[in-house]
Amino acid sequence: MTTATYQVDTRAPRPVRRPRRRSVWAEMRHRWADYMYVLPALAVMMAVIAYPIYYTVFLSFFKTPPSLAMDDKIFVGFENYGRILTNDSFWSTTWNTLIWTFFSTFFAYVLGFGAALVINREFIGRGIARGILLIPYVISAVAAAYVWRWIYHSDFGVLGALLTQLGLADGPVVLLDSVDRVLTALIVVNVWKEFPFAMIMMLAGLQTVPDQLHRAARVDGASAWQRFWHITVPHLKGVTLITVLLLMVTNLGSAFTIPWIMTGGGPVGASHIWITQIYEIAFGRIRFGIASAYSVILFIAIMSLGVVYVRALTGGDERRRQE
Amino acid sequence: MTQFPKGIRVLPRLLGSTALTTLFGVGLVASYLHAPHDAAAQAVDPADWTPEYISSIAGTIEVDTAAECSAVVPSDYEGKLTYWYIAPNEASPLLDHEIDAQFWEAFGAAYPNIEVEIQSQDYNQMLNKIRTAAVGNAAPMVARLPILWGVEFAAKGQLSEFGPEDVGYSVEEFWPGAMKSVTWRGNTYGVPSNNETMALVWNASIFEEAGLDPERGPDTWEELVQFSNQIKENTGKNGYGLVARTNAGNTPFRFMPQLWAYSAGALDEANDAPTYETIAINSDGGKAALQLSYDMYVRDKSVPVSALTNTQTENRDPFIANQLAMVISHPSEYAAMIDRAARATGQEKEIADRVVANMRYGLIPRGPERRAVVFGGSNLHVFNPDVVDGGEVDMEAAKALVCFWAGPEWSTKISWTNSNPGNLRGFQTSWMKERLEEIKFLDVTTSMLAHGVPFPVIPESPEIMNIIVPEMLQNALTEKMSVAEAADDAAEKIESVISGF
């Protein structure tokens, strides 16, 4: 009779040793051929993206009054940053920028999502409705700004005439020429211009939501709201992230045309946002050093907001995966 | 359509090398008893420079440009030139295109061996393009720039010292204001090519409706405020087309004459020998001038509410619609209104035609100190070889082109529809006579030239004029600050700007 002896290993299991990760350089050496393929594209990107960023940061440390040639610029260290951050107009412009960015993004997203939900359904004239809703997006921003200027015009505006005819106003409706109302008026135009973008993005997202889930939920007795909240919304999280991020970055960093053409930053700076202020400093005041410092601040703000936002939205998924 | 003589009329040269004998006005310009280079200097007296006088001197001399310029650069000179300028574009009248083509044809005939590489630029893009080109050592050899732009390049050492004498003309052949605009730290960096000033335009029928004399515009700024108020009260229409938008050149072009009239200014630019070191915007006169705008906008509400965001373009529609009585504008405003009236239809056309028929031009009002207007125009500049493509400037070819362009003939013809000759002899030519007969109110706007004051000739001028001055207006008109505070705030900003940051 043979007796089998089994030894029970009571020691703690040895941790599985993960393969050692190569350093970046080692990885590049290992995959050198791959890198060679993308090298031309990288070189172009370095030339058209990295160099301008480098030069903007470099220039931000110099004083460049309009009377001096660029070669004679004067090194001032962080003085440009100090001047910007201690200037009252920077803080009022920053406040305007935050209001502009938040409300433009929020309402463009909400309106765009709402429109997407409507045109995602089958109804007669859906194609025409889609086309009409896209008009603000495809129209030139410059043309739109001029049209809205006349709609809002304080003396002869269409809006003022309409409100007067309806008995809702008894005098000129002053929007663009009012310090208190100008920013709101511009945000309305910006939302009008941007919501079709959100609509397109969300419509694309809606069409990826599996229909069988909705059908199954309906069989299980879920209400329309429950189906929307528990099925549609979670499926649109990715596209929402991208849409809001793109809207936010656009509003913060490149939504220049509408405020500039409609008011030029006035009255008394009430509609200046960072991007119009930077343009004015660079090309109106011919002070490229300060404008560069301003641009660097804007760059940092956009990057930080982007990182925080993406982390906030993707953090939950990461945690769930780890659990 | 206007046709110009194609041939070159060779004037008999009297007394050897000296020829033209021309009296250019009582105490006005120069006596040209010799060749143009020897023209004698005389001051321009605004009192004599009247519409009648301008008409009386037009057509009194004959000019032979090719002969004049060949005395500076031989007509067989062989060379090459690069030249940038704002050429007529698709929005320009056909006549401008024709004149431009005729110029190059005439220059080619006079200097067949000079090859000119022309770059036609868009007004809105040219400044930044040429700035970039100069930084990258790719500037043209010669460029024609609007009056305010040149000083920035001169201050940066990017222009060559170059003046009227280099092309055979005397300094006295050009407006003193124009010469100021090409002078930086005592040196000359260009030759004026054309100059213009604005005038007051009013609608005679609204004046009549308001109980004013339809044929008489306001003589003083205070009267303008009073007229504006009377018009608003009696007709409900806006009186004066105030413009106070920031970042818009239209604003200082309309407000600075008001400031200068009250012996103020941004700096001391209205003085005969400005130093650009004294700040005058918050002087008593400056505050009084700003108070006028405040009175019209806030107290009387006799001007458009939209003045804070309007440019002159936005004033054109209410003007043609018979809803705005007075504006300050260019000589070309009349043509612009005719164009608008032609595009109107139905009942609107009737109104527009009536407005055009009732348009009147007059001098910009005067103040306690003077009558003043912004002196506008363009200058021809030669770039420093260091910043020019190839590192060389063909100076003889540059002289030939500038001589041709800035002479009495072509400085008159090229300015045909929208400006005036930079060369004062241009006013005596038959082409000027033809323009006066053809362009309504040209005599009035031309007579404003003698009251012209150029903006401060310093590189910081665009910031002061397009940003600080409009901000001052807006601070006062929105009552964010009192008139005195707004003026003092502007003075502080100007101080900061000219002190180097």
Q: Does one domain contain both B162 and B281?
A: no
> Residue B363 to residues B441, B443, B444, B445: CA-CA distances in angstroms?
11, 11, 7, 7
Interatomic CA distance for residues B369 and B259, integer angstroms: 10
Phi, psi of B379 (to 5 degrees): -130, 155
B17 lies in some domain: no
Q: What is the ipTM of this complex?
A: 0.79
Q: How many CB atoms lie within 10 A of CB A321?
A: 7
Contact A253/A247 with Cβ under 8 angstroms? no
The nearest CA of chain B is from the CA of A123 a distance in Å of 41
Which stretches of chain A drop beneath a pLDDT of 50? 1
Here the tokens at position A165 are 């005819």
Q: Are residues B345 and B489 in the same domain?
A: yes
Is B23 domain-assigned? no
Does B178 lie in the same domain as B227?
A: no
B174 and B237 fall within a common domain? no
Distance (Å) from the alpha carbon of B479 to chain A's nearest alpha carbon: 10
Would you say residue B15 lies in a domain? Answer: no
B489 and B343, same structural domain? yes
Domain total of chain B: 2
Residues B49 and B100 reside in one and the same domain? yes
- Cross-chain CB nearest to A284 (options B156, B466, B474): B466
Q: Does CATH place domain A79-314 in 1.10.3720.10?
A: yes
pLDDT the model gives residue B293 = 97
Asked whether residue B12 is domain-assigned, the answer is no
In a domain, B435, yes or no: yes
Q: Residue A16 CB: number of other CB atoms within 10 A?
A: 5
Nearest residue to B186 (alpha-carbon basis) of B499, B457, B465, B459 = B457
How do residues A25-84 score in pLDDT, each as one tens digit?
888 888 889 889 999 998 998 889 899 999 999 999 999 888 777 778 899 999 999 999
Under 8 Å CB-to-CB from A110, ≥6 apart: which residues? none
Quick one: B493 and B472 in the same domain?
A: yes
- Kindly determine whether residue B309 and residue A263, on different chains, have CB atoms separated by under 8 Å: yes
- The residue ranges of every structural domain in chain A are 79-314
Q: What is the pLDDT of residue B128?
A: 82
pLDDT for the residue B260: 96
Structural Rg of chain A based on CA atoms = 28
- Chain centroid to CA B333: how far? 14
User: Is B31 inside a domain boundary?
Assistant: no
B385 and B243 assigned to the same domain: no
Residues B353 and B416 in one domain: no
CA B427 to CA B420: how far, in whole Å? Answer: 8
Secondary structure class of B210 (helix, strand, coil): coil
3-class DSSP state of B454: coil
Q: Which of A83, A177, A183, A263 to mutate to test the interface with B (most CBs of B within 10 A)?
A: A177
One domain for residues B173 and B141: yes
CA-CA distances (angstroms) from residue B2 to B103, B125, B192, B342? 14, 31, 25, 21
CATH number, domain containing residue B268: 3.40.190.10
User: B227 and B158 in one domain?
Assistant: no
| pLDDT score of A315 | 65
How many residues in chain B? 501
Q: With contact defined as beta carbons under 8 Å apart, do B219 and B229 qualify?
A: no
Mutation site, A86, A155, A277, interface B, largest B CB count within 10 A: A155
- On the CB side of A97, CA atoms within 13 Å amount to 24
Q: Which residues from A are below 8 Å from B when comparing CB atoms?
A: 63, 65-70, 72, 83, 149, 153-156, 172, 174, 176-177, 179, 260, 262-269, 280, 283-286
Of the candidates B152, B460, B474, the beta carbon closest to that of A266 is on: B474
Q: Which domain holds residue B208?
A: 199-371+460-498
Residue B11 included in any domain:
no
- Both B494 and B430 in a single domain? no
Contact B242, B225 (CB under 8 A): no
Nearest by CB to A177, from B157, B305, B318: name it: B305
Q: How far is B460 from chain A (nearest CA, A)?
A: 6
Residue in chain A lying closest to B461 (CA): A285
Residues of chain B with pLDDT under 70: 1-47, 91, 501
